[in-house]
Amino acid sequence: MISAISTNLPVFIIIAPLFVAFVLPTLAKRKRLVENLVLSVEVLMLLGICYLASIVLFRKDIPIIYQMGGWPAPWGIELKVGSLGTFFLLTIAIVSLPVALFARGNLTHEVGGKERIARFYVLYLLLVGALAGMALTNDLFNVYVLVEVATLSCCGLVSARNHPRAAKATFTYLILATLGSCLVMGGIGFIYIITGHLNMEFASRELSIIWQNNPRVVWMAFSFMLVGFGVKSALFPLHVWLPDAHSVAPSPASAILSGLAVKGYIICLLKVLYNVFGQTLMQAYSVHKILVLVGMVAIIAGSISALTQKELKRRLAFSTVAQVGYIFLGFGLLNTRGLAGALFYLASHAVIKSTLFLSAAAMQTATGKKEIKDLSGIGRKMPITAAAFTVSSLGLTGIPLFSGFVGKWNLLQGSMESGSILPISVIIAGSVLCGAYLFPVIRIAYFETAPEKDWKDPNLPQKLALILLSAVIVVLGVVPGPFLELANRAAAELLVLR
Amino acid sequence: MILAILPVIPLIGVLFLLFKRGRFINIPLITSAVVLVFGVCGLQSVFEGIPLNYTVPLPGPVAPNFHADSLSAIFVLAAGFIWSVVSIYVPEYMEQEGRTKVFELCSLLTLSAVLGVFLAGDLFTLLLFFELMTVSSFFWVIHRGNKEAIRAGYFYLFYSIVGGLFLALGIVFMGTATDIMPIIGSGPVNPLNSKAFTWSIVLLIIGFGIKAGMVPLHLWLPHAHSVAPAPGSALLSGLLIKVGAYGLIRVGEFAGWGTYLQGGVSWLGSGLAVLGTCTMLVGVLAALVQSDAKRLLAYHSISQIGYIILGLGIGLYLGPDGGLGLIGSIYHIVNHTLFKAALFLGVGIIYIGTNETNLYKLGGLWRRFPLTALFMLIAVLGITGAPGLNGYASKTLLHHAVSHAAENGPQWIIWSERLFLLVGVGTATSFIKLYYLIFLGKPAKVKVNENKSFGMNLAMGLLAAVMIVIGFKPEIFASIAAAPAAQVLGMKNAAATLESLSFWNPSDVLSMIITLAIGGLTCWLGFRSGAFHWHIPAWLTLEGIGKLTGMSILFIWRRGAEWYGSIVATAGRASGNLRARLFKYFRRFDKSRSGNIGKINLTGISADAALLITVLMFLIVWYAFIVK
Q: What is the pLDDT of residues A367-406, one digit of tens each?
A: 888 888 888 888 888 889 999 999 999 999 988 788 888 8
- In chain B, residues with a C-beta closer than 8 Å to the C-beta of A175 are 605, 608-609
Q: What letter represents residue A285's amino acid?
A: Y
Which of A454-463, B446-455, B521-530 comes out lowest in average pLDDT? B446-455
* Close Cβ partners of B572 (under 8 Å, ≥ 6 residues apart): B603, B604, B606, B607, B608, B610
Mean pLDDT to the nearest integer, B359-375: 87
Task: Give CA–CA dist A98/B475, Å, rounded.
Answer: 68
Q: Which chain B positions have a beta carbon within 8 Å of A277's beta carbon? A: none
- What distance in Å separates the CA atoms of residue A22 and residue A129, rounded to the nearest whole number? 12
Which of A164, A240, A428 is nearest residue B611 as measured by Cβ atoms?
A240
Beta strands in B37-158 (DSSP E): 52-55, 65-68
Lowest mean pLDDT among A165-179, A312-326, B570-584: B570-584
Query: Is A69 within a domain?
Result: no
Kindly provide the ipTM of the predicted complex, given to two decimals. 0.71
Domain stops at, among B486, B509, B529: B529
Q: Is the predicted pLDDT of residue B176 greater than 90, yes or no?
A: no
Instruction: Give start and end residues of each alpha helix (H) in B213-359.
Output: 220-227, 230-235, 241-255, 268-288, 293-318, 323-354
d(CA B126, CA B112): 12
Minimal C-alpha gap between B480 and chain A (Å) = 41
Environment class of residue A115 by beta-carbon count within 10 Å: exposed (0-12), middle (13-18) or buried (19+)? Answer: exposed
Q: Does B621 touch chain A (CB under 8 A)?
A: no
Chain A interface residues facing chain B, Cβ-Cβ under 8 Å?
164, 167-168, 171-172, 175-176, 179-180, 183, 215-216, 219-220, 222-224, 226-227, 230-231, 237-238, 240-241, 285-286, 290, 304, 308, 398-400, 409, 412-413, 416, 424, 428, 431-432, 435, 439, 443, 447
Does residue B286 lie within any of the structural domains? no
Average predicted confidence (pLDDT) for chain B: 85
Q: In this predicted structure, what is the pLDDT of residue B42?
A: 84
**B18 CB burial (10 A radius; 0-12, 13-18, 19+):** exposed
Residue B484 is assigned to a structural domain of this protein: yes
Check: CB of residue B372 under 8 Å from CB of residue B447. no
Give exposure, B597-625, as e/b (b: 16+ Cβ within 10 Å).
eeebbbebbbbbbbbbebbbeebbebbee
- Distance, in Å, from the CA atom of A481 to the CA atom of A479, rounded to the nearest integer, reads 5
Same domain, B466 and B572: no
Residue A347 domain-assigned? yes
Number of other CB atoms surrounding residue B355 within 10 Å: 12
Mean pLDDT (whole number) for A153-180: 87
Does B517 reach chain A within 8 Å, measured CB to CB?
Answer: no
pLDDT at B583: 61
Q: Are B314 and B269 in contact (CB under 8 A)?
A: yes
Tell me the sheet residues that pair with B292. B358
- Count Cβ atoms below 10 Å from residue B345 Cβ, excluding itself: 28
- How far apart CA A265 and CA A271 sit, in angstroms, is 10
pLDDT above 60: residue B615: yes
pLDDT at position A356? 94
- What pLDDT, on the 0 to 100 scale, is given for residue B590? 43
Strands (E), B14-83: 52-55, 65-68
Q: Is residue A444 part of a domain?
A: yes
Query: Is some CB atom of chain A closer than 8 A to the CB atom of B124?
Result: no
Q: Which of B615, B617, B625, B627 best tests the A interface by mutation, with the highest count of A CBs <10 A?
A: B615
Dihedral-angle region of residue A398 (phi above 0 means left; psi in -120 to 50 means alpha; beta otherwise):
left
CA dihedral for B121, B123, B128, B129, sign (positive or negative): positive
pLDDT above 60 for B586: no
| B600 closest CB neighbour out of A168, A424, A428 | A168
CA nearest A366: which of A348, A345, A380? A380
pLDDT for B284 beyond 70? yes
Q: What confidence tens digit (pLDDT) does each residue in B255-282 have?
A: 888 888 877 788 888 999 999 999 999 9
Angle, CA A253 vertex, CA A252 and CA A254 arms, to 5°: 95
Report the SS3 class of residue A104.
Answer: helix
Residue B569 and residue B430 in one domain: no
Over residues B133-158, mean pLDDT: 88
Boundary-marking domain end, from B529, B552, B585: B529
Give the pLDDT score at A449.
79
Helix (H, G, I), strand (E, B) or coil at B551: helix
Please tell me whether residues B469 and B610 are part of one structural domain: no
- A:B CB pairs within 8 Å: 81
Contact at CB, A231 and B612, closer than 8 angstroms: yes
Q: In the predicted model, is pLDDT for residue B185 greater than 50?
A: yes
Say yes or no for a CB contact (<8 Å) between A171 and B600: yes
pLDDT score recorded for residue B151? 87
User: For residue B62, is pLDDT > 90?
Assistant: no
Supply the pLDDT for residue B202.
92
Choose between B586 and B1: higher pLDDT: B1
Q: What is residue B585's predicted lDDT score, i.e. its pLDDT?
A: 53
Q: Which structural domain range is residue A348 located in?
A: 286-498
CB contact under 8 Å between A226 and B619, yes or no, is yes
pLDDT beyond 80 at B627: no
Q: Using CB atoms, which residue from B158, B196, B616 is nearest to A227?
A: B616
Q: Mutual orientation of helices A403-418 and B147-178 as an angle, nearest 10°?
A: 50
Q: How confident is the model at residue B592 (pLDDT cuts 50, 70, 90)?
A: very low
A396 in a domain, yes or no?
A: yes
Q: Which of A5-14, A120-129, A172-181 has the lowest mean pLDDT?
A: A5-14
pLDDT score recorded for residue B212: 92
Q: Can you tell me the mean pLDDT for A472-477?
A: 90
Total count of domains within chain B? 2
Least confidently predicted of A393-397, A494-498, B83-87, B503-507: A494-498
pLDDT band at B593 (very low <50, low <70, confident <90, very high): very low
pLDDT digits (tens, 9 = 90+) for A220-266: 899 999 999 999 999 888 888 888 888 888 888 999 999 899 999 99
> Is position B460 within any domain?
yes
Average pLDDT (A92-109) is 88
> Once rounded to an integer, what is the mean pLDDT over residues A11-36?
88
Query: Could you report the per-residue pLDDT of B286-338, keeping only the tens digit for each?
Result: 888 888 999 999 999 999 999 999 999 999 988 888 888 899 999 999 999 99
Asked if the C-beta of B609 comes within 8 angstroms of chain A's C-beta atoms, the answer is yes
- Cα(B364)–Cα(B380) distance, rounded to whole angstroms? 17
- Residue A419 contacts by C-beta under 8 Å, 6 or more apart in sequence? none
Contact between B168 and B210 under an 8 Å Cβ cutoff? The reply is no
Question: Given a cut of 70, is residue A1 above it in pLDDT?
Answer: no
Chain B residues touching A222 at Cβ < 8 A = 619, 623
- Of the ranges A145-149, A296-300, B121-125, which one carries the lowest mean pLDDT score? B121-125
Q: Whole-model pTM?
A: 0.65
The one-character DSSP state at A139 is B
Query: Is a pLDDT exceeding 70 seen at residue B600?
Result: no
- The chain A residue lying nearest B564, using CA atoms, is A237
- Rounded to a whole number of angstroms, the distance from the CA of B614 to the nearest CA of chain A is 10
Distance of CA A259 to the CA centre of its chain: 4
Nearest CB among B172, B196, B608 relative to A240 is that of B608
Q: Which of A216, A400, A431 sits opposite B627 (nearest CB)?
A: A216
Contacts of residue A101, Cβ cutoff 8 Å, sequence gap at least 6: A39, A461, A462, A464, A465, A468
Give yes or no: residues B491 and B584 share one domain: no
Question: Does residue B380 belong to any structural domain of this protein?
Answer: yes
Q: How many angstroms separate the CA of residue B627 from the nearest CA in chain A?
A: 7
Q: Do the Cβ atoms of A172 and B158 come within 8 Å?
A: no
Asked whether residue B604 falls in the same domain as residue B481, the answer is: no
- Within a domain: B432: yes
Nearest CA in chain B to A178: B609
Task: Show residues of chain B in contact with A428, CB under 8 Å.
Answer: 169
pLDDT at B337: 93
Q: What is the DSSP letter of A80?
A: E
Whole-angstrom Cα distance, residue A176 to residue A181? 9
| B627/A contact by beta carbon, under 8 A | yes
* Same domain flag for B424 and B493: yes
User: Residue B591 above 70 pLDDT?
Assistant: no
Q: DSSP alpha helices (H): ranges in A398-495?
A: 403-418, 421-447, 460-478, 481-494
In-domain check, residue B236: no
Show the domain range for B605: 564-626
Considering B511, B529, B547, which residue would you say is the last residue of a domain?
B529
Looking at this protein, which amino acid is placed at residue A17?
A: P
Half-sphere exposure of residue B349, counting CA atoms within 13 Å on the CB side? 30
Burial A392-425 (b: 16+ CB within 10 A, else e): bbbbbbbbbebbbbbbbbbbbbbbbebeeeebbe
What count of other Cβ atoms lies within 10 Å of the Cβ of residue B367?
10
Q: Is residue B67 a part of any domain in this protein?
A: no
- Please tell me the distance from the alpha carbon of residue A363 to that of residue A342, in angstroms, as a whole number: 30
Which residues of chain B does A416 touch, with a Cβ-Cβ cutoff of 8 Å? 176, 195-196
Amino acid of residue B365: L
Check pLDDT > 90 for residue B84. yes
How close is the nearest chain B Cα to the Cα of A94, in Å? 28
Domains of chain A: total: 1
Percentage above 90 pLDDT, chain B: 27
SS3 per-residue string spanning B414-476? HHHHHHHHHHHHHHHHHHHHHHHHHHCCCCCCCCCCCCCCHHHHHHHHHHHHHHHHHHHCHHH
A374 DSSP 8-state letter: G
Same domain? B365 vs B491: yes
Q: Does B599 touch chain A (CB under 8 A)?
A: yes
- How much is the mean pLDDT over chain A? 89
Q: Is residue B571 part of a domain?
A: yes
In a domain, A345, yes or no: yes
**Is B615 near chain A, with CB under 8 Å?**
yes
